[in-house]
Chains A and B, each alone.
Chain A
């Protein structure tokens, strides 16, 4: 069945969903960036929307909130992640659920910071909320947990920030210091001009908070403030050298367990499942009856994350 999508957020993820929706048999009827929107009940043409954004810096002539007045089935919330009250993303979700529409989130804020509020709104709506894209990009983490059943997964741990992992694995491979590799990562577009969200562990922590919320299945609610978070700024090249001498390396490892959420640089054996290199991500699930499951892949990027968004959309059919 073809579903009609309304996309909020015209960044790499929102733009890629616009490009790829047709490939998954869906059509985009509305698309908004932070200042404008465009809609067409017959489906938007991705190329002309991108061209308009390129030329005029806007996607259309309407107000962004006009997307809520279109005839859509699923809201794709792909605006930037915000902390605390998770606004404006949370209000977007609230509005769509109030109108009994489905919501697919790529934005981590509402599920990391206001999970309980979100579930309460969902319970009163005909619509449902999916958020595979918020955790680990293309990696099917949440759908795997959903298939196993959250009560059969006792812990999740792994590497869920490609920027920090790129920096640590480059430092280890080249014997370079943090500042040097960070500059390289920024040149390559792997790290942002302000890398703090990634290198201070906040991005990884948000993802593990979401995992903790999913795993606790309503028994407890976690927010970023509940997580014990340490980034990679304090890991010098000499620490990686000493780790390598001992057959180990350092990775920014997140954990969501019954004792809470923790993100910190940790020693792991070289060549082990969790010592992924470059921007690769991995999640390791500890199951009650089936041992460990490792799922790895690309944890970020427009088309990769859009793939997770569109898989969520297909689950709603």
Chain B
């Protein structure tokens, strides 16, 4: 599904209580069989949920040999329990539902003396300050600690809170004399 499809779908009105849709994250375990993903997504659509993103951890199996899948969706507050029940009724293994509400992901690059300024501490500060989860980190330090290094971070942020999260990242970076290459979040880029 392309980003535009997601945008137009999430713009669409949902029937129901009239309350604003809230983002939710559901973690599923699927059996490695054809059609499993589709049958897992149907109960969501049929019960008034808008799919925001599907994160399929390819090659990564749970201890029980199942495939973990993370689904971000948006739905009116009173619909969420219905969706989870419908998934369970369909025989889908729902591991975790709604514990965290991360609706958007954003990538950015930090540049500077990342190692000596304690990258681990930097990441923790971002998670605490920005109410975001760092879901991916790639570090490139081709000249060791002699030259500036770069790290690409992927953050999962709350829906509509990406700009606030980026402001927090900018402040933390400034404290440590790091530069941030921010994504262009507006427009089609």
Contacts known (A236-B147, A243-B109, A245-B138); A272 close to B181, Cβ less than 8 A: no
In the bound complex, residues from chain A placing their C-beta under 8 Å from that of B186 are 155, 157, 255, 257, 286
In the bound complex, residues from chain B placing their C-beta under 8 Å from that of A274 are 184, 187, 189
Q: Is B79 an interface residue (CB 8 A)?
A: no
In the bound complex, residues from chain A placing their C-beta under 8 Å from that of B81 are none
Q: Is A14 an interface residue (CB 8 A)?
A: no
In the bound complex, residues from chain B placing their C-beta under 8 Å from that of A257 are 186
Interface size on B, residues (CB 8 A): 24
Q: How far is the CA of A246 from the CA of B152 in the complex (A)?
A: 9
Chain A interface size band reads 20 to 34
Chain A nearest CB: distance from B117 CB in Å?
15
The answer to whether B141 and A238 have CB atoms under 8 Å apart is yes
Contacts known (A236-B111, A236-B148, A245-B138); A272 close to B188, Cβ less than 8 A: yes
The answer to whether B181 and A239 have CB atoms under 8 Å apart is yes
The answer to whether A269 and B140 have CB atoms under 8 Å apart is no
Q: How far is the CA of A13 from the CA of B186 in the complex (A)?
A: 34
In the bound complex, residues from chain B placing their C-beta under 8 Å from that of A86 are none
Main secondary structure of the interface of B (DSSP, over half): strand
Per a CB cutoff under 8 Å, which of A238, A268, A286 touches B149? A238
In the bound complex, residues from chain A placing their C-beta under 8 Å from that of B82 are none
Q: Is B179 an interface residue (CB 8 A)?
A: yes
Q: How far is the CA of A246 from the CA of B189 in the complex (A)?
A: 15
Chain A nearest CB: distance from B118 CB in Å?
19
Give residues of chain A (108-165) contacting chain B, Cβ–Cβ below 8 Å: 155, 157
In the bound complex, residues from chain A placing their C-beta under 8 Å from that of B151 are 242
Q: How far is the CA of A314 from the CA of B111 in the complex (A)?
A: 48
In the bound complex, residues from chain A placing their C-beta under 8 Å from that of B183 are 248, 266-268
The answer to whether A292 and B148 have CB atoms under 8 Å apart is no
In the bound complex, residues from chain B placing their C-beta under 8 Å from that of A157 are 184, 186-187
Per a CB cutoff under 8 Å, which of B108, B111, B150, B184 touches A268? B184
Q: Is B32 an interface residue (CB 8 A)?
A: no
Q: How far is the CA of A135 from the CA of B60 in the complex (A)?
A: 51
Q: How far is the CA of A7 from the CA of B112 in the complex (A)?
A: 47
The answer to whether A266 and B181 have CB atoms under 8 Å apart is yes
The answer to whether A235 and B181 have CB atoms under 8 Å apart is yes
Q: Is A301 an interface residue (CB 8 A)?
A: no
Contacts known (A234-B148, A236-B147); A242 close to B138, Cβ less than 8 A: yes
Q: How far is the CA of A223 from the CA of B114 in the complex (A)?
A: 35
Q: How far is the CA of A82 from the CA of B49 in the complex (A)?
A: 57
Give residues of chain A (21-68) contacting chain B, Cβ–Cβ below 8 Å: none
Q: How far is the CA of A194 from the CA of B186 in the complex (A)?
A: 33
Q: How far is the CA of A242 from the CA of B111 in the complex (A)?
A: 11
Q: Is B142 an interface residue (CB 8 A)?
A: yes
Q: Is A284 an interface residue (CB 8 A)?
A: yes
Q: How far is the CA of A155 from the CA of B111 in the complex (A)?
A: 28
Per a CB cutoff under 8 Å, which of A242, A269, A273 touches B150? A242
The answer to whether A272 and B189 have CB atoms under 8 Å apart is yes
Contacts known (A234-B179, A266-B181, A266-B184); A239 close to B111, Cβ less than 8 A: yes
Q: What are 14 A-B contacts defined by CB distance under 8 Å?
A: A155-B187, A236-B111, A236-B147, A236-B149, A236-B150, A237-B142, A239-B109, A245-B152, A266-B181, A266-B184, A267-B183, A272-B188, A274-B189, A284-B187
* 3 interchain residue pairs of minimum CB distance: A238-B140, A242-B152, A239-B150
Chain B: residues with CB nearer than 8 A to chain A?
Answer: 107-109, 111-112, 138, 140-142, 147-152, 179, 181-184, 186-189
8 additional A-B pairs beyond A236-B150, A239-B109, beta carbons within 8 Å, are A236-B111, A236-B147, A238-B140, A238-B149, A239-B140, A242-B109, A243-B152, A286-B186
